[in-house]
Amino acid sequence: MLPGIGVFGTGDIVRALVPFLRAKGFRVEAVWGRTLEAAENVATELNIPFHTNKVDDVLLRKDVDLVFIICQPDLHAQIAVKALGIGKHVLCDRPAGLCQLEVLKMVHAAQYYPSLISVISHGLRFLPAFVQMKRHLEAGYVGAVNVCDVRVHCGSMIGSQFDWMCSHLMGGGILTMVGSHIIDAVSFVTGQRATRVHGMMRTFTKSTEKINGIRWIDSDDFCSFQMILDGGACVTATLNSHVAGGFVQEVVVCGSRGRLAVRGASLYGQTHTDEREQLLHDGSADDLTHLANRNDNSSARVNSLLPQPYLQGLFRLVGALKEAFATGDGEHGWLKEPVSSAATFEDGQYVQAVIDAVKLSSASRQWEQVTVASDENELNPLMTRLNLPNINMSSLDALSQAPTNRPQPAPTQRKTTATSESHLPWSFATKH
Amino acid sequence: MLPGIGVFGTGDIVRALVPFLRAKGFRVEAVWGRTLEAAENVATELNIPFHTNKVDDVLLRKDVDLVFIICQPDLHAQIAVKALGIGKHVLCDRPAGLCQLEVLKMVHAAQYYPSLISVISHGLRFLPAFVQMKRHLEAGYVGAVNVCDVRVHCGSMIGSQFDWMCSHLMGGGILTMVGSHIIDAVSFVTGQRATRVHGMMRTFTKSTEKINGIRWIDSDDFCSFQMILDGGACVTATLNSHVAGGFVQEVVVCGSRGRLAVRGASLYGQTHTDEREQLLHDGSADDLTHLANRNDNSSARVNSLLPQPYLQGLFRLVGALKEAFATGDGEHGWLKEPVSSAATFEDGQYVQAVIDAVKLSSASRQWEQVTVASDENELNPLMTRLNLPNINMSSLDALSQAPTNRPQPAPTQRKTTATSESHLPWSFATKH
């Protein structure tokens, strides 16, 4: 049987996702919102039986076995770690967390409960165009990969009210929202990871007609970054949210023998022996959005925050989750194979490490090494340079120390090899 | 009367240009080639009455009053300075020279003979799409300029034989050939100049089927560079010659109120109040190539070296030159107005300063200041860092010291205000 789902978040993406989850046969049991009002509104609109503004109230529900964390990024890590700690499967939206330290805690939680599904919503991995691109690259279509050339043009991501998307410190910005997908997709299709990066980030729109009070927008609305991959390829990516009028995404991978390009949801290719470009996969037939009852009048902002290729990818990831549970055998209740290509929390940590390095580079105006740490202490120098200690440490600590007055659930059946619990500040496991 | 023209160079661009010059009413009197054989071949093919492999033999001809320097970049500066020194008008192909020091010598020569026309072949300034973009920007169409986002995709620029295009030290590479046009065009349309730049340059194709002997290709075939303009705007540009199958160029300028984009030879725009993108100028009607009898089967390499927008722009620049001479009054024999928007040698020096800084940045992996020098001594530290002293200084010195056994021409009539001749090593003027 498919697991019941608890959803964290009340944004437009949740409104698009819930109908699709139901179309796939999932039950959506509960929704969490930052305020009770927001939760109630979404619950009423989407006909969700339970709503709350308390994280634990969703996590502790027995009818919730899978949680979708689609809320502001500064809450991702704590909710994910807690959820895994009480035996819930987790799908977490990008960016995984605010900084690598947060994501490392998620990684440790996931490693600690390997029988649970823990994936990041990097849906491009499930978009047929990128799946085909990866296959063609593995088959040597372009030869040795030299250059990846990525361009994303979209309209403003800022809504009508000040929210986390306006705040660099809360995880907003085009690098975290779009760049995270790009960093993951490049590593997915090429099989290479960044070793050094350079970045230039800017916030040109600091206020809007509606956001012009005491709080200013400081999340990046433009980012150009470059990566050197461990196989020697160069990546250059331009993320530009100043181009109103639709979402344009092009990922071009060039090699010694030819090139491949994903434009939107379609794949094109040309080898040096071809006279012209070939359409290798037509993505126009991949549209699943009719299943989501998505309103064609979706606001321009939804289209910027979760444009078609990302939404299609997310839907396909959900489809893979359904496969994993629907065909699963007894022990874990799910099969690994359908979600084996999904982005793990480790992948999310790599992406976050690159994001952190791009941010550092934009400030230092130099190339920065990408350091993927296995131990939290390794990250101390990075945290100091990122200038984020207050955010991360205090919110992490506050949460880990906050006692809950709720009854502890019985631990679910799972195989774990507990070695250390020090990495899991928010985990119920530490209180068993 | 239109001046007689002497052409330096024997490449495919010369083959496209000469018929167009004649269609405009110019007489092409002489052609210079690096070898006598190359010169003879072009002269026969294009029916040019005189050919030679000696620079002075063209410069000293009385029927030559305007020289087109369309040969390898390491010869540009010395030919241009010599030509101005004996009273000839000069159109010089990009890049103006090998480094800023060379171009500074050209600038000094041009300043010394202000009555002569001296322009760089940055033809995009004459392409209607860019002219219109500049006008729209000046009229406030996009508001304050935030971001310029430039992408050029083309096929390999390497021919079937080893030549200067293969050599970084001889001025080859996508940064000098394409980036120079982009740097100039951005500064032309925005009215802003780069103060700091960052660059990543690579040579992925070091040998080809036909070039695989003792000499290797070391000119850049990929370049991503970023610029901070003096008005605060950011520029990011990706130049990628690994994308076979046609030339793609997009220059997008975003601002607080909207954006403008030149794609190919057409201009598009969208303000924040527009529902969709507008076609502001249709460049498909601008084609002048029929006047050049250009063979539609032009090699792929011509299309990479001088693709349609650049060729169209060059033709329009030639048209402006014709206007300048045809409508000119008595004193200088030409009118400034028709060529007033052409790139001067000063503009060429700025472009070269940016190119030098991008090259330095690619090596240093840091942002570099753009220094536009007015005195050669200012450039000493830069020359040392660029690691080019042998090339520039020795070739310059060799040329300036080489005695010519030819008779000196009578100086042409012109107003000059001589103050110092030390900047002009190749100038005949120093020997008067």
In angstroms, rounded to a whole number, what is the distance separating the alpha carbons of residues A424 and A413?
Answer: 19
Question: Is B98's pLDDT higher than 50?
Answer: yes
Residue A285 is predicted with a pLDDT of: 73
CB-nearest partner of B245 from A146, A277, A366: A277
Residue B1 is predicted with a pLDDT of: 79
- Asked if A371 is an interface residue toward chain B (Cβ–Cβ < 8 A), one would say no
Among chain A residues, CA nearest to B273: A244
Tell me which amino acid residue A172 is. G
Residue A77 is predicted with a pLDDT of: 96
Contact A165/A159 with Cβ under 8 angstroms? yes
Distance to chain A for B2, nearest Cα, Å = 43
CB-nearest partner of A146 from B147, B222, B272: B222
Task: Read off the pLDDT of residues B375-386 as tens digits, 9 standing for 90 and up.
Answer: 888 888 888 888
CB-nearest partner of A200 from B234, B258, B272: B234
At B143 the three-state DSSP class reads coil
- Asked if B279 is an interface residue toward chain A (Cβ–Cβ < 8 A), one would say no
Task: Read off the pLDDT of residues B12-54 as tens digits, 9 standing for 90 and up.
Answer: 889 989 999 999 999 999 999 999 999 999 999 999 999 999 9
In this structure, of A293-302, A341-350, B78-87, B191-200, the range with the lowest mean pLDDT score is A293-302
- Asked if A198 is an interface residue toward chain B (Cβ–Cβ < 8 A), one would say yes
Contact A196/A231 with Cβ under 8 angstroms? no
- Asked if B274 is an interface residue toward chain A (Cβ–Cβ < 8 A), one would say yes
Q: Which long-range contacts (CB under 8 A, 24 or more apart) does A274-277 make?
A: A274/B244, A274/B245, A276/B245, A277/B245
Q: How far apart are the first and last CA of chain B?
A: 28
Residue to test with chain B: of A208, A239, A242, A249, most B Cβ within 10 A: A242
β-strand partners of B344: B119
Residue B290 is predicted with a pLDDT of: 60
- Which has more pLDDT, B421 or A192? A192
Instruction: Give the start-end residues of each E strand in B9-57.
Output: 27-32, 50-52
Entry pTM: 0.87
Which ranges in A365-394 belong to alpha helices (H)?
380-386, 389
Question: Is B279's pLDDT higher than 50?
Answer: yes
What does each C-alpha distance from A124 to A189, A381, B227, B241 come to in angstroms? Answer: 10, 32, 31, 27
Distance to chain B for A146, nearest Cα, Å = 7
B285-308 average pLDDT score = 60
Does the distance separating the beta carbons of A198 and B149 come in below 8 Å? Answer: no
Does the distance separating the beta carbons of B238 and A149 come in below 8 Å? Answer: yes
Distance to chain A for B373, nearest Cα, Å = 24
Residue B409 is predicted with a pLDDT of: 40
Contact A224/A238 with Cβ under 8 angstroms? yes
Q: For residue A174, count other CB atoms closer than 10 A to its CB.
A: 26
**Strands B234-240 and B278-281, sheet pairing:** unpaired
Taking CA A25 as the corner, what is the angle to CA A21 and CA A31, rounded to the nearest 5 degrees?
45
* Nearest CA among A134, A257, A112 for reference residue A184: A134
In angstroms, rounded to a whole number, what is the distance separating the alpha carbons of residues B297 and B319?
Answer: 25
At residue B193 the predicted structure's pLDDT band, cuts being 50, 70 and 90, is very high
Task: Name residues whose C-beta falls within 8 Å of residue B422's C-beta, 6 or more positions apart in sequence.
Answer: none
Tell me which amino acid residue A330 is. G
Contact B383/B99 with Cβ under 8 angstroms? yes
**Strands A145-153 and A234-240, sheet pairing:** parallel
CB-nearest partner of B240 from A224, A254, A258: A254
- Asked if B62 is an interface residue toward chain A (Cβ–Cβ < 8 A), one would say no
Contacts of A244 in chain B (CB under 8 A): 258-259, 270, 272, 274
- Asked if A243 is an interface residue toward chain B (Cβ–Cβ < 8 A), one would say yes
Contact A266/A129 with Cβ under 8 angstroms? yes
Q: How many Cβ pairs closer than 8 A exist between chain A and B?
A: 102
Does the distance separating the beta carbons of A242 and B146 come in below 8 Å? Answer: yes
Quick one: what percent of chain B has pLDDT higher than 70? 84
Task: Read off the pLDDT of residues B231-241 as tens digits, 9 standing for 90 and up.
Answer: 999 999 999 99
- Asked if B367 is an interface residue toward chain A (Cβ–Cβ < 8 A), one would say yes
Distance to chain B for A75, nearest Cα, Å = 32
What does each C-alpha distance from A319 to A20, A323, B15 come to in angstroms? Answer: 9, 6, 59
Please give chain A's pLDDT, 432 residues, in tens.
799 999 999 988 899 899 999 999 999 999 999 999 999 999 999 999 999 999 999 999 999 999 999 999 999 999 999 999 999 999 999 999 999 999 999 999 999 999 999 999 999 999 999 999 999 999 999 999 999 999 999 988 888 888 888 888 888 999 999 999 999 999 999 999 999 999 999 999 888 888 887 888 999 999 999 999 999 999 999 999 999 878 899 999 999 999 999 999 999 999 988 889 999 999 887 766 665 554 444 455 555 567 888 988 999 999 999 999 988 765 567 888 899 999 999 999 999 999 999 999 999 999 999 999 998 888 888 888 887 644 443 344 433 333 344 344 444 443 333 333 333 334 333 333
Residue A329 is predicted with a pLDDT of: 64
Tell me which amino acid residue B229 is. L
Instruction: Bin B191: left if φ > 0, else alpha if -120 < ψ < 50, else beta.
Output: left
Residues B31, B36, B39, B42, Cα dihedral to 10°: 150
* Nearest CA among B339, B426, B432 for reference residue B77: B426
Task: Read off the pLDDT of residues B321-375 as tens digits, 9 standing for 90 and up.
Answer: 999 998 876 566 788 889 999 999 999 999 999 999 999 999 999 999 999 999 8
In angstroms, rounded to a whole number, what is the distance separating the alpha carbons of residues A305 and A308?
Answer: 10
In angstroms, rounded to a whole number, what is the distance separating the alpha carbons of residues B307 and B246?
Answer: 9
- Tokens, residue B352: 């070269």
In angstroms, rounded to a whole number, what is the distance separating the alpha carbons of residues A141 and B126?
Answer: 40
Contacts of B259 in chain A (CB under 8 A): 242-244
Q: What domains lie within chain A, and their CATH numbers?
A: 4-123+308-343 (3.40.50.720), 125-286 (3.30.360.10)
- Asked if A397 is an interface residue toward chain B (Cβ–Cβ < 8 A), one would say no
Residue A398 is predicted with a pLDDT of: 39
Residue A224 is predicted with a pLDDT of: 97
DSSP A102-121: HHHHHHHHHHH-TTS-EEE-
Contacts of A247 in chain B (CB under 8 A): none
The mean predicted confidence, pLDDT, of chain B is 85
- Asked if B254 is an interface residue toward chain A (Cβ–Cβ < 8 A), one would say yes
CB-nearest partner of A226 from B224, B259, B367: B224
